[in-house]
Structure 1
């Protein structure tokens, strides 16, 4: 027994010694091939690039993990489209966000640079740190080239934050090539090793299936107890006998004020000043069926008749949709929602809550992308049209989402004026009620966790993100869309 195991153990020991000896020899060769260590101008430039890249990668990782919109970087069909890049298959590696990999590399660079640039560390340690720093920088530079090519040639969209991080990686790579401590031969050796790492990254991305464009949230029980649920009480609302979890609409009674004929042009403005709010016509009549839409496991309820919607007030199935008229994923989801509406007919009601991704009317948005510049005014116009004429609202809503691109406000209000009385629409817009509705939509958006839109919400399920399967949506509506 001992005679057979002893040679094996000796062989293993000799292999480990040879392996350590080879690694030590390679490291000694790299150290001996070094020039003088870089001085402060080089380390300062490297530190700047690394700091910017760490900040950028951290932000992109945070938006990925929280499904938050990327601020000020567009989200649409133009070249600048951070959302499209960040949600593509090239944003992950075997399910791991590439922003996390980038952050790890830049943090390793930062640690190596600290050791390499401070005199308090011994010369051998500083030399080894510069070797590690060079390997990490070359890996970042090669990865930057790969991701720039993907954005320009494959996606044909660019993410400004990504490009900033890639630029930092390229600048750091060029800096070490020109003023780094390694000579050409040893630098090429390290570059070869970094290229192997790049091939592992690329292969992993090619083998990783495209990520799902949506997430499903499940709510088995109400997220809060009935006694702890917040009351969302709008201005001048009816607050008697309300359920604690009823999300109430910011309107009161049922008739719109109509001045005597012949004096409308004189009395319209004084009446607005006197009463403050123009009241809706028949869309909130008291005799409508009280069909409620429950979301978040029953923690929140909305009376269908009190909110912008299409479909019967007493429909068998109800879905609550949060969206933005300028949001490309919302427009793609609309095609599936519209097809489901056609298939289910009067059995389906869709409560439509525009949530503009624009900081002018949505405080959760810190920086507004150019694509969402008119989100607020488009949403308010749609709500105002619903207040004047619910049937006209359905026509306008379908028209606004029919094309690949959102219509401008000028185009939309011109269309709305062909569907409803222009004077009544102007009075409704001037009343400010549609602004109150948008504020309530945003409040509910914050209540359900903010994040990505569109959101298709049912009693026990929420689908967050682009959802384009018609059959899947119809099945989901039939299974989840009844009141619970």
Structure 2
């Protein structure tokens, strides 16, 4: 029987149609894509849930939480890790499908595979550069995913460039002619279009970069809560709220005038205090007072200045609090923070720079909320980085009570290093070097200091109950500016100042 097809011609045609995507490389790429997909999906989940990332505790250069909470980690509000998961899922599927279809279908599948691999490599280079230059921290999981992407791109490009060479060097026998085999015609196997794949990947990556620059994602929230009950943060919780007559017409809505120590029950506190040029009393009144029996000497009343926030629902006494600045400053903001919180340490530098713009007209009230179970029963468990938070908060408030000037120095020292809080032993030594050792030891463990911390924890819990949701947890640091509550990560000093100026209408000096 004479065959209908010349076997030699059939073998040559089969060789020419041999796919470029074959061998063990296909399975290596599929496994790498699956690993990268799992890592990117995990980061997407952590980004949506705002929960800590395993293996990145926020100390040193490696800080996954700092990377994931930056504006660079999102594009139009969507985590870029989710886009990475989609890209690697596409690589996984295309790596299994390419090279097994008809010529036309395989052409498009192969081109899509190369484009996805190039996109993964380009995104890996871009986001690694962002972590080093813009964020200043690295994410272990992100770097692992990027390494998978670069390896995938290298293998895919190697196979795409290797196949034309293999096809051009193949040999076939020439029918009817004896002797050695002759090189076959340089017919290329069905494979991807590298220019088309590069153009597609480059266009998508350029669009991503442009959107991140032109439309950065807002990483913080400014809102005005509507509290049902008044939160009294003063030392005497039973003290009634200040009347409307006590509010200065020139003060900001959240600032209440200091109550004069000489005020009497009939409301003479509104009168201007006497000056050196104008005696407070007439000579007749002085003689009448001298003729009267001398009254018993009383201790000087403690200074007092009450300030209200959140539409009058929160009230504090400036002289009871630890303050950065003057208790008499016309503008006041409150910061809820923890000395062991890495995000609070990062925010501290921005607050100092922002406060310099406003000088003595702004004061910052510090309210520590330790993230340690020992004194904060709201915390489910104590993370290693938060051990010693209660002691730091107690010593800081005690230093502020003994010497308000030394508190500023101690507070700045505790938050000087962004990557890690000082040890408990170093904190004690520093505090002893600033104030009297006996006074500090007695006051740190006093019910007064511990009670103030519990008030701060209850305040944070009240705000958390109103703001926290499953997809938007409420965490430190928190700033109360007039009637506005600022939460989340404020990345620049300009953003911080803009929010302050909108909330309390303060102007730079």
TM-score by length of 2: 0.58
Q: Which has the larger displacement, 141-150 or 170-179?
A: 170-179
Helix, strand or coil: the match of 1:462? strand
Q: Which residue of 1 aligns with 2:41?
A: 55
Q: Which residue of 2 aligns with 1:457?
A: 480
Shift of 1:100: 3.6
Structure 2: distance between partners of 1:381 and 1:336: 25
Structure 2: distance between partners of 1:366 and 1:72: 17
Residue 19 of structure 2 is aligned with which of 26, 33, 50? Answer: 33
Q: Which residue of 2 aligns with 1:425?
A: 440
Structure 2: distance between partners of 1:136 and 1:321: 46
1:201 aligns with 2:205: yes
Shift of 1:130: 7.3
Structure 2: distance between partners of 1:217 and 1:477: 9
Q: How many residues align?
A: 390
1:189 aligns with 2:193: yes
Cα offsets for 1:205-249 (capped at 9, x unmatched): 257148488645132xx42434xx8x7999xx9876889xxxxxx
Q: Which has the larger displacement, 406-415 or 470-479?
A: 470-479
Q: CA RMSD in A?
A: 5.1
Structure 2: distance between partners of 1:58 and 1:391: 45
Helix, strand or coil: the match of 2:121? helix
Q: Which residue of 2 aligns with 1:415?
A: 430
Shift of 1:338: 3.9
Residue 493 of structure 2 is aligned with which of 468, 471, 482? Answer: 468
Helix, strand or coil: the match of 1:62? helix
Is the 1:57–1:99 Cα contact (8 Å) retained in structure 2? yes
Q: Which residue of 1 aligns with 2:392?
A: 378
Is the 1:38–1:179 Cα contact (8 Å) retained in structure 2? no
- Where does 1:442-453 land on structure 2 (aligned, <5 Å)? 442-446=457-461, 447-448=463-464, 449=467, 451=474, 453=476
1:103 aligns with 2:108: no
Shift of 1:88: 5.6
1:321 aligns with 2:335: yes
Is the 1:56–1:162 Cα contact (8 Å) retained in structure 2? no
Cα offsets for 1:282-303 (capped at 9, x unmatched): xxx99653614323x5555445
Structure 2: distance between partners of 1:404 and 1:225: 37
Residue 339 of structure 1 is aligned with which of 351, 356, 360? Answer: 356
1:309 aligns with 2:323: yes
Q: Which residue of 2 aligns with 1:225?
A: 228
Shift of 1:58: 1.1
Structure (1 or 2) with the greater helix fraction: 1
Is the 1:214–1:463 Cα contact (8 Å) retained in structure 2? no
- Where does 1:278-317 land on structure 2 (aligned, <5 Å)? 289=304, 291-295=306-310, 300-310=314-324, 316-317=330-331
Structure 2: distance between partners of 1:60 and 1:394: 36
Helix, strand or coil: the match of 2:84? helix
Unaligned 5+ runs, structure 1: 1-29, 244-284
When Rg is computed on C-alpha atoms for both structures, the one with the higher figure is: 2
Q: Which residue of 1 aligns with 2:178?
A: none
Is the 1:94–1:205 Cα contact (8 Å) retained in structure 2? no
Is the 2:336–2:367 Cα contact (8 Å) retained in structure 1? yes
Structure 1: distance between partners of 2:112 and 2:418: 49
Structure 1: distance between partners of 2:156 and 2:315: 60
Cα offsets for 1:238-282 (capped at 9, x unmatched): 876889xxxxxxxxxxxxxxxxxxxxxxxxxxxxxxxxxxxxxxx
Structure 2: distance between partners of 1:148 and 1:368: 28
Shift of 1:335: 1.7
